[in-house]
Amino acid sequence: MSACVPTRHDHTSRSSRPPRASGIKRPHSPPPPPHGGRFRIAGADLSASVTVFLLAVPMSLGLAVAMDAPLEAGLISAAIGGIVAGLLGGTPLQVSGPSAGLTVVTAELIQIYGWRTTCAITIGAGLLQILLGSLRAARSALAVSPAIVHGTLAGIGVAIALAQLHIVLGGSPQSSAVANALALPDQWGRVSPAAPLIGVLTIAILILWPRIPGRIGRVVRRIPAALAAVVTATVVAAITAPGIARVDLPSWRSHALPEMPHGPVLALATAVLTVMLVASLESLLAAVAVDKLSADRAGGQATARSNADLPSASSPASASASVRPDPACSSPPDPPVRRSDLDRELRAQGIANTLSGLVGGLAVSGGAVRSSANVRAGATGRASTVLHGVWVVLAAGLLVTTLEQIPLAALGALVMMVGIQMVSFAHIRNVHKHREFLVYGATISGVLLFGVLKGVVIGIAVAVAVALHRLARTRITVTEQGGQHLVVVQGQLTFLAVPRLSRALARLPQDGDAVVELDGFFMDHAAYETIQDWSTAQTAHGGRVVFTGRSGGRIAEPASAAHSCCRPWTPWRNHHCHDRSGQTPETQHARLDTGRAPDCGSGAVEDHSPERHTSHDSSGAHSTPGPAGSPTAAPRRTGSNRLFSGLSSFQRNTAPLVREELARLAREGQRPSQLFITCADSRLVTSMITASGPGDLFTVRNIGNLVPPPDAESSDDSVGAAIEYAVDVLKVESITVCGHSGCGAMQALLGARPDPDTPLSSLWRWLRHGLPSLERMRSRHHAWARISGRLPADAVEQLCLTNVVQQLDHLRAHGSVARRLAEGTLQLHGMYFHVGEAQAYLLAEGASAGLALDEVFNRVDPGDAHASSDSHSPADAHALAGAHTSAGSRSPGDAGTPRPAAPGDPAGSGELERTGV
């Protein structure tokens, strides 16, 4: 009976990605809906809609109170946002409703123009959103600096909190944030105890409700904290303070509709622009955050399924069967997580705002609190959003008496907490880390003192001033160290710094050695010409010039590289680019991935040395992923043509760069520091994944990265000879055994055994050396090897990890290795490389040394090591400052890219709520 186990699919394979002509939309454009776009209601969507409805009603009423708008207007906007934006929007799981970000703006508009003109302004903002969405300008809205966006939201949050504090204290808010702050002392002097106590009770429940521990906590947390707080406050107020101010829902017959706006045209246009800007940014930021939450939830579900399907350690026999999936019982893969179509979302928000204004509702935007609750409640599509709007309509017609029992102080406290959550400390730390706190602070101050639109303008002005200051600020220092001059250039190299740079370089002796350290992000053409001319003259007089980055690694680019499509230092990536007869698959995918033409003559230089990237093992360089018959597969060249083309490319582009280094190695002999034992799999390019070059690695490759023990029957002498030569003659300092994902040898070991009556082939005679690894995995006396942060995906990956540990044990049995280990002059390392993810994992130090039982492979992140390149010849330095030192200017922990939040991590859903969007 065959077992069914999920197969790991590498969705990042280049060949699996469709070309542009296929009609499939790029990121943030979802694929066509299944089942012909029919509206389906799943059980999860029904339950999620109830959860969001219970959260949306008190929030909608509270925001209406905060804006001093008719309370029924909050329910209208919640219903229209749920039904209209839910049906038409480009983010199926986003829930729209009254805009928290527009609380201060709408309150000011109502005070100046009245409610009916404010509705007309909302209509105008909606029409402008429809226009911008039709012009596909949604993504351009996200080009604003995050410091300005989050500063705007934080300023609005502070203004909301100050205004609602007056309602919690039993008073009425003033017209501006400054006035609310100045009026607080007087409000404290005439406070009555009932309203503040109800407000404090509401805030306490909002804070403590998600933190109730144990089984009771898991049950009660299914009820939204906002609903629990408002219901509790209502019950307590009905018993202890029957005379407290409560919600007053007027009759629907007296509901006010919009009128033609009255007032100065310029002021009205500014109001429309402000409402449109804040509502659009709020919705688009929430849409991107919902994508992240949805992806995290899908990743957590996939991990849970993988862990559930992993064979139990108590039944090792099942591991062998689990690697042969039966197509008859395999379940179809989960549909991919749809990403937001931001232009469609912007158009839907515009339609919702237009309709909301026409029927007398508040301005609508996507909300982070409601959306995150929808995702966490298990919603699978837009049905939950639409149904939540239907429930709001029913509540507005049938629950008027119940809603009128809610104290205004409870709603004020609820909205005040929303405003406080809009000031995210995570965002403050982030902008401080990127040295943009001045922009963030200026935006907050501008919003509080002058309003939203003027605050955004102030933030943009400060951001431009900071950028110009950084661009013009360049420090150039010259020091002498042991007869060698060190020129350190800190900052951006533009034409403004050329005079100082020229003076500093002119003071250096023409025949001396110099090291130029470029610590900046940008170099313009004027600075490039200055450095290049000086370098040429210096070299002509017998001097030697080396260009380095901030970390000290030397960098260089040949002058012709800026005009060549194929970068000579990465031939493994560009092995097809010399075939001018047709476009290569990698070129096609480069365009699909990045949305631009492939890297041809950009002039950007990475922090890679020529030597360290021209010696890549090309055994896997020419493999084209994907089936040969797939639409994206390229015609394969014949073996002789491929060999000749590759050799010609090496002689033309790479040999000039490495000739000097190889000549040195030919004179001095090899002195590698590592013995690297790995699999012969063509996808494993050893020098690429270890950033090594000629003379660095003494490599042994075989099927399954096996190390036969010295006393094994029919032992293989070639591997033993390589180990003895590396340890005793070359005196290597470390030995690494590297396994990889999808290893064919491990699959063969787990698969069917050869017929005992049939003579063993050469392959099976070799694979017998891997049987101890299989026995180790099946044994109950050894803990299973693990990958840090997750369990192995399947039995094949488990055996790949176990095999690395077992081969390290075989290594220690070799006499030369045991002797060097006893002397303390040799180290052993276990390594696992996931090909599809391009991710390396290192075995824990104690397990590699054979001293620990806990066999864990830890992920190697970009910031975990400080690699430095070896010597390079000085050459073209144009544009290398940005590519090299931008990474060097970050802290090691940053690693250049934020790490994604794990499923269920507060940094995922909690981050969305903290924005208050």
Among all residues, which ones are annotated catalytic? 679, 681, 683, 740, 743
**Gap between the Cα atoms of 189 and 36, Å rounded:** 64
Q: Are strands 827-834 and 734-740 parallel, antiparallel or unpaired?
A: parallel
User: Phi and psi at residue 30, in whole multiples of 5°?
Assistant: -70, 155
DSSP-based three-state secondary structure for 856: strand
DSSP states along 696-744: TEEEEEETTS----TTSTT--HHHHHHHHIIIIIS--SEEEEEEETT-H
For residue 95, give the nearest of 299, 345, 371, 423 by alpha carbon.
371
Cα-Cα-Cα-Cα torsion 782, 788, 789, 792, nearest 10 degrees, comes to -50
Distance CA 604, CA 567 (A): 11
CA angle 387, 392, 395 (to 5 degrees): 125
| CA dihedral of 290, 296, 301, 307, whole degrees rounded to 10 | 180
Rounded distance between C-alpha atoms, residue 15 and residue 585, angstroms:
7
Q: How far apart are the first and last CA of the chain?
A: 53
Cβ atoms 108, 451 nearer than 8 A: yes
List the structure tokens of 514: 């110099």
DSSP 876: B
Reported as type and span, the H/E element at residue 664 is helix 655-668
| Lookup result for tokens 């009423």 | 61
User: Please, how many CA atoms are within 13 Å of residue 328, restricted to the half-sphere of its CB?
Assistant: 3
CB-based contacts of 730, cutoff 8 Å, min separation 6: 670, 671, 672, 675, 698
Amino acid identity at 426: A
What would the two tokens of residue 302 be?
């996939």
Residues in the chain, total: 917
- Largest CA-CA distance found in the chain, in angstroms, rounded: 99
Q: Are 322 and 7 in contact (CB under 8 A)?
A: no
Q: Hey, what amino acid is at 91?
A: T
